Chains A and B, each alone.
Chain A
Amino acid sequence: MFPVEHFLFLAALLFSVGLLIIITKRNTIMVLLGIELLLNASNLNLVAFNQLWPASVDGQMFVLFVIIVAVCEAAVGLAIVLQVYQYYQTSVTDSISELKE
């Protein structure tokens, strides 16, 4: 069995990549992808810690819950992106700057 640190490192790596994508990518869809990576990183942490207490299944349940929420979020988010694209003819975050004077 792998020690838990390996999972934690992987999860941290994923989280960092996700953050990097969120910050650097210009396209909104890519930002949503970054968010998915963040969620997956936290899921990885949840299952890794659950492994330390085999009697409980809380962690796995949470993961399933998160996956469902992530799906919902992705659906809503993509729908919004689609609407925004239709309205602005672009999905680049910097170009959508109507609130800025």
Chain B
Amino acid sequence: MQSNITYSTFFEICLLLSVALPLASFIVSFAISEKYSWAVSITAPLLLLVSALSSSVVFFSLHDDQPFSIAWNWFVISGHPLTAGLLLNNLSATMLLVVTFISFLIHFYSIGYMAGDSSIRKYFAMLGLFTFSMLMIVLADNLLLLFVGWELVGFSSYMLIGHWKEKPAAARAAKKAFILNRIGDAGFLVGLMLLWTHQGSFALNQIGLTDAMAAWQTAASLCIFCGVVGKSAQFPLLTWLPDAMEGPTPVSALIHAATMVAAGVYLVIRTFALFTPIALDVVAVVGIITALIGAFAALGQYDIKKILAYSTISQLGLMVTALGAGASDAAFLHLFTHAFFKACLFLAAGAVIHALHHAQLQAHAHFDVQDVRNLGGLRKKLPVVFIVFILSGSSLAGLPFFSGFLSKDAILTALISWAGADFSWQWLVVGGAFTVTFLTVLYTFKMIWYIFFGSEKKTSELSISAPPAVMQVPLFTLALASLWIMVSWNPFVHTRWMNPAMEHSWSVTLFSIVWVIMALATAYFSREKSFYADVLFNAFYVDRLTDWMTKKIGLKVPAITITLDKKWIDGFIHATAYVQVLIAHVTGWIDRAFVDGTVNGMASFVRGVGSVTRTFQNGKIQLYIFWSIFTIIIFLIWTLL
């Protein structure tokens, strides 16, 4: 075990607590017996609270200080020792804080949201496992350990999407998420192998320190990006994320909005040194395609959670675009702000669904509470949720005085300076990014308008009660976290107290304020207009594309390999078998006819000679005399004549 000694033991204990307590929560949740399953909803949030507090200690004592690393020997493979360790710098410490903090709030919220659920132990256990494995991704100092965490979050995401496993749609969505992620992860694994063969190390702080611009680096970084495409729901593997909304809403908030899907972006930032310019161009193009698809598709949805899911895809696409433009700072800033406001939006949507669902049960009414067309005018019945929704929604839309505005600004500034002065394809990306921000305002406004304004539709005769306090506390905390203060003291300058080195341009800020106001105006005047279109509702049929691709590849390739196997490999084997049998028959015949024939022939010849000579000596004395006389006569005749 090796570590630098600039940090105190207290720091190390806090670090240990923040990582180990989610795992402890996982174990405790399973250890508590079924009878006392209510206790889980106390222990799990408590453990996470301690974890979040100790991670804030870690964050504040490490921030802007030198990085901390600690490593243990893991195993030795063919003479190469591999270490497992933690690497904390500004980036991972921030992420540590975000993950534990939001995870705690979600745990807290889940006490109210999941009350009375029959498998609450499994729910909290999986949340704990998820948080632990997410921290593994965040803190790992090498890609192999990161990959282990990567797969573990995939697993816990699968378990949580399929939490209500009795719902066929949930089970299907869980399987789909798992399989699409595996496709991406296969690429990630290949990338790891490439890295190992060329660099002989998985350590994050050694990545890209050898010769830059090598072809293998492009290949390896694109392979790692495959994993990112799967995990962060980028084009063309984006369709699992809207389906994943079948899981409980707090899960959607934690995993499919704030943390896990952002892990892909985080991974690119961690391995940024590996990405060559060509790879970055690919990343930017994939990002902007995803962002546009997500933003347009969000316009065509009516399901609250689907709108938010497509919005998440779109925002992730923006982050990935920023990464492609080389602005990992801006991407991480957006990841940071997005984690708070999107978690908040999901929790608020969850609060609406929860409240309406309970009201529905009392009134024996039956309609889809997630469909925004059935809602309306809820600002009077759910004022708390309304305020929260307005705050976090404004942040998503990127209105001034909100964190979303600053991070979006950072991305746009970085994109413009990346595109340069002359017109090139990169300006298409910039144009795409501006379109996305415009559309974001549009769909956010429409969603809020549908839910909270206008006249009440199917909810008018329901008696709706405000969400319980355990749900309100996380809502307000996260809503406050979507204000500009999270990023910077100045609401118009995103060069935050976390990273003052980023560039900032007033012209971009001014333009984006004008742009947002234009978008708001458009949204207001088109508020009654439906943007529904089949192509938007189905997200440009990307699902069919992936379906078609998986069917084409998934069915054709086995068919081809089967025919190859049957016709050629089996044929070859059969042919060799036939030839062998033939040779065996020939040699067998030669053996019988010639080898055995010689031996047997000699034997029967000898036997024949023997049986002839035997007749001379049959034990009859007179015959002997006869033959003697016969011989003598012959001899006499021969000598005398």
* Chain B residues, CB < 8 A from A94: 620
A interface footprint on B593-636 (CB within 8 Å = 1, 0 otherwise): 00000000000000000000000000111100110010000000
Q: How far is the CB of B202 from chain A (nearest CB, A)?
A: 91
Cross-interface CB contact of B629 among A19, A24, A97, A100, cutoff 8 Å: A19
* Chain A residues, CB < 8 A from B620: 93-94
* Chain A residues, CB < 8 A from B626: 23
A100 contacts B619, CB within 8 Å? Answer: yes
Q: How far is the CB of B362 from chain A (nearest CB, A)?
A: 119
B619 contacts A22, CB within 8 Å? Answer: no
Is A52 close to B, CB under 8 A? no
Q: How far is the CA of A100 from the CA of B617 in the complex (A)?
A: 10
Residue of B nearest to A31 (CB): B622
* Chain B residues, CB < 8 A from A55: none
A99 contacts B629, CB within 8 Å? Answer: no
Q: How far is the CB of A21 from chain B (nearest CB, A)?
A: 10
Q: How far is the CA of A94 from the CA of B622 in the complex (A)?
A: 9
User: What's the count of A-B pairs with C-beta under 8 Å?
Assistant: 16
* Chain A residues, CB < 8 A from B619: 97, 99-100
Q: How large is the interface on A (under 10, 10 to 19, 20 to 34, 35 or more residues)?
A: 10 to 19
Q: How far is the CB of A24 from chain B (nearest CB, A)?
A: 8
Q: How far is the CA of A60 from the CA of B424 in the complex (A)?
A: 155
Residue of B nearest to A94 (CB): B620
Q: How far is the CB of B350 from chain A (nearest CB, A)?
A: 112
Q: How far is the CA of A35 from the CA of B619 in the complex (A)?
A: 20
* Chain B residues, CB < 8 A from A97: 619
Residue of B nearest to A98 (CB): B619
* Chain A residues, CB < 8 A from B629: 19, 23
* Chain A residues, CB < 8 A from B622: 22-24, 31, 93
Q: How far is the CA of A24 from the CA of B620 in the complex (A)?
A: 11
Q: How far is the CA of A94 from the CA of B624 in the complex (A)?
A: 12
Q: How far is the CA of A22 from the CA of B625 in the complex (A)?
A: 8
Q: How far is the CB of B640 from chain A (nearest CB, A)?
A: 15
* Chain A residues, CB < 8 A from B625: 22-23
* Chain B residues, CB < 8 A from A99: 619
B interface footprint on A75-101 (CB within 8 Å = 1, 0 otherwise): 000000000000000000110010110
Q: How far is the CB of A96 from chain B (nearest CB, A)?
A: 9
* Chain A residues, CB < 8 A from B621: 93
Residue of A nearest to B621 (CB): A93
* Chain B residues, CB < 8 A from A100: 619
Q: How far is the CB of A75 from chain B (nearest CB, A)?
A: 21
Q: How far is the CB of B224 from chain A (nearest CB, A)?
A: 95
* Chain B residues, CB < 8 A from A23: 622, 625-626, 629
Residue of B nearest to A100 (CB): B619
User: For window 10-61 of chain A, which residues contact chain B by CB distance below 8 Å?
Assistant: 19, 22-24, 31
Q: How far is the CA of A22 from the CA of B627 in the complex (A)?
A: 13
* Chain B residues, CB < 8 A from A22: 622, 625
Residue of A nearest to B626 (CB): A23
* Chain B residues, CB < 8 A from A24: 622
Q: How far is the CA of A19 from the CA of B630 in the complex (A)?
A: 11
Q: How far is the CB of A13 from chain B (nearest CB, A)?
A: 16
Q: How far is the CB of A91 from chain B (nearest CB, A)?
A: 13
Residue of B nearest to A19 (CB): B629
Q: How far is the CA of A23 from the CA of B620 in the complex (A)?
A: 10
Residue of A nearest to B630 (CB): A23
Q: How far is the CA of A93 from the CA of B621 in the complex (A)?
A: 8
Residue of A nearest to B623 (CB): A23
Q: How far is the CA of A19 from the CA of B620 in the complex (A)?
A: 16
Q: How far is the CA of A41 from the CA of B619 in the complex (A)?
A: 29
* Chain B residues, CB < 8 A from A31: 622
CB<8 Å pairs between A and B, sample of 6? A22-B622, A22-B625, A93-B621, A94-B620, A97-B619, A99-B619
- Give 6 nearest A-B pairs by CB, closest first: A100-B619, A23-B626, A23-B622, A97-B619, A93-B621, A94-B620
